[in-house]
Structure formats: C-alpha cells, structure tokens
Structure 1
Amino acid sequence: MTEPKTLYLVTGMPAVGKTTFAEQLASRLSACLVDIDSATESIVQAAMNRITGNPDDRDSDVFKETFRAPIYETLFTLARANLVHTDVVLTGPFTKELHNPNWPAEVQVKVGRSCRVKCVFLHCSAELRKDRLEARGNPRDRAKLETWETHLQYYDTESFPAYPHFAVDTGEPDAFENAVSRGLID
C-alpha cells in the first residue's frame, strides 16, 4: 500500500518568511508548492481595483470579508488536486486559525484526501518583520507599515498556534537547515 502524501502547512505572520521557507521545503521534497500570493494575487488585484480602486489593499474589512474565505478555499482545492500525486507545501498566514486546536484535522477533512497534515509555524521578532516589510517594498504592505501598532494588535503576534505544530524562528541563521535537522521532514 502506498503511504499517504503529506500536506505541509507553512503559516505565520506577514513578512515572517513563509514564501522563502516554503520554496526551500518544496524544493527539498520535490513537492508541489501552493503559495497564497502566486495562486491568487492577480485575481485579487483585479477585483480590488474594480471594487475599491486600490489593487494593493490587503488590510481593509472589504478585502477580508470578500476574499479571505475564497482565497483559502482556492489553496485547499489546489492542494487536493495535487495530493493525489505528490506531497504539497501550502503557505499562507492562516492567522485566524491560530486558536483552533483542531485545525489540522479540519484541514484533512477539507482537502478530502487521505494525507498527513504537518503544520509549520514560522515566527520572528516584530522588528525583523517590519524591516522585511520595508525592504521588500511591496505596495500591499504600505497600510501595515503606516499603522504598525494596529497591525501588531490585529495579528496577535505573540501567540503560537493552539494546534500541534513545528515552530521555526526565521530570525535564526540557517533557519531552514536547522528545522530539517530537528526533524521537520520525516
């Protein structure tokens, strides 16, 4: 019998290094990468431009109420389609799910495939995340930087997930390789 595939959920606050880490993990595993920005950004930009005139808005209630659920559903649909063939590394913030101890089991039901779900929670200091936001210069980060204290309160940046997870401090040198050596990959 073939072993079930693994769905790696790479989560964390904005600018913690999710995309970079997920790319390294997918490469190491020869897995499918499903990144929130790659999978949905152009559609969201077109719609937000039409709705609000601001294609870079990712912080307003309009964006969150309109797009959060369908964006995540899209990610899980892509994961489901690929888990038949290969392991999947899926990355997105998933900040509301932090306090749900049953989230990994709910994800397994959501993808509708027999798979292992492994949650990887990335974290680093708020100062480093702010530096990274400033350095990447992405227009969609402007509102976060302009209202930094509000941003920190919204994302509850001191909380670690209530569900079982593998924590990685991306502020540490060689964070990815250290995670691998600590058992991230079975």
Structure 2
Amino acid sequence: MPRLIFFCGHAGTGKTTLAKRALPVLHAASGESFCLLDKDTLYGDYSSAVMGVLTGDPNDRDSPLFLQHLRHPEYDGLLKTARENLALGVSCIVVGPLSREVRDHRLADRAWLGVGDDVRVDIVWVYLQEQQAQQRIAARGNPNDAWKLAHWDDYRTRLFMPRAEDYPELRMVDNSGAPGPVFDALMAALG
C-alpha cells in the first residue's frame, strides 16, 4: 500500500527538515521507496522567474498577484506529481505550507486528493511559537521571506493554528522542543 505523507505548516516551522529526517527512517522501517516532493524545490525557480517578469521581484511569494495566480497551480502540480508516483506504487512525502487545504480539511478528502482507499494518507502539522518561527525565518536568510519579515504584522494575519479537536486528521508536532523525543514519537505514530 503506497503512502502519502504530508508535512504541512507555516514558514520557519521546520517541516522540510523534519520530512528529510523522516524519509530514511521510514524507508528503513518499511523497505518501501519514498519520493520527497517539496513545493519550493519543485516550483521555486519557476515561480521566481514568473514573478521576476511580472513584478520585477523574483522573491515575491506573498503579494496578491502571486497568491491569486501562482499559488494554486503550484499546489495542483505538487499533488499531480504525488498522484503519478502513487499510481506507480511509490510512496510520497509532500512538503508545503498547505494551510488553506488543511483549514478546509481537503487533505483528508480522498476525492479531492484524487487517491483511492489503497493509499494510506497521513497529515503532519508542524508548528512553533510565532516568535520562534520568526527568528528561524530571519536566521535562514531566504530572499523569499523578505516580505514576511518586513510586513510581519500583515503576514501573521494569515497564520492559523488548527486545534487538535477540530482537526482529528492531523498529527500535531510541536517542533520547538528537544528534537529527539518529538521525532521518535512522530516516527512511532507514522509506523
């Protein structure tokens, strides 16, 4: 049974780092091949080129133009790539914020995802306290984060924290503590 594992959360929470750490552990435990599909790796350069032409700012990932016209195609392509791999029997770890999709419970909707009952779906929501995420974003120095840091009060209005009782489909991971115990608990939950 192929697996589709989402690592979701807002910028700076450590979802990509956690996913990359999880992949070899899951592979070793299951003997299954896994494909890592990170939204920024797949679409970052393309979106930079498009935004550079349209706005003169290749690092724009937060303007209304990007959010209205490029966000959806990025996520659509990400999920199509996952479905192609799953159809070939290759399990996928998908990394991206996916906050709108989580908020609307879409990742738990097999019809919306376009996957059958033969695919095991797990959704990991990685989070930190806001101040810690802001510090991590500043420390990593990614130009795509410049708008977030310069307009933090505006950016933070888009952040949401799903409550476990409202989102039972999520595996909630507080990534602010000691990495060992948190990671071990997550690996046990993912089997």
Runs of 5+ consecutive residues of structure 1 not aligned to the other structure: none
Residue 169 of structure 1 is aligned with which of 160, 167, 174?
174
How many residue pairs get aligned? The number is 179
TM-score, normalised relative to structure 2: 0.87
Q: Which residue of 1 aligns with 2:11?
A: 14
Residues 19, 93 of structure 2: 8 Å contact kept: yes
1:62 partner letter: L
Distance 2:106 2:159 in 1: 20
Superposed displacement of residue 109, structure 1? 4.4
Residues 168, 179 of structure 1: 8 Å contact kept: yes
Superposed displacement of residue 159, structure 1? 3.2
Q: Which residue of 2 aligns with 1:135?
A: 139
Superposed displacement of residue 27, structure 1? 2.0
Partner SS, residue 184 of structure 1: helix
Taking only aligned residues, the RMSD between alpha carbons, in angstroms, comes to 1.7
Q: Which residue of 1 aligns with 2:100?
A: 96
Distance 2:163 2:81 in 1: 26
Q: Which residue of 2 aligns with 1:28?
A: 25
Q: Deviations over 1:43-70 (max 9, x none)?
A: 1011111111100001100001111111
Q: Deviations over 1:135-167 (max 9, x none)?
A: 0001111111111121111122x3347431111
Q: Which residue of 1 aligns with 2:30?
A: none
| Matching of residues 68-147 of structure 1 within 5 Å | 68-83=71-86, 84-106=88-110, 109-113=112-116, 114-147=118-151
Partner SS, residue 27 of structure 1: helix
Task: Name the CA shift for 1:102/1:63 in 2 (closer, same or farther; >3 Å).
Answer: closer
Q: Report % sequence identity.
A: 28
2:130 partner letter: A
Q: Is residue 46 of structure 1 aligned with residue 49 of structure 2?
A: yes
Runs of 5+ consecutive residues of structure 2 not aligned to the other structure: 28-33
Superposed displacement of residue 177, structure 1? 2.5
Residues 36, 75 of structure 1: 8 Å contact kept: yes
Residues 26, 88 of structure 1: 8 Å contact kept: no
Residues 106, 112 of structure 2: 8 Å contact kept: no
Residue 153 of structure 1 is aligned with which of 151, 157, 162?
157
2:25 partner letter: R
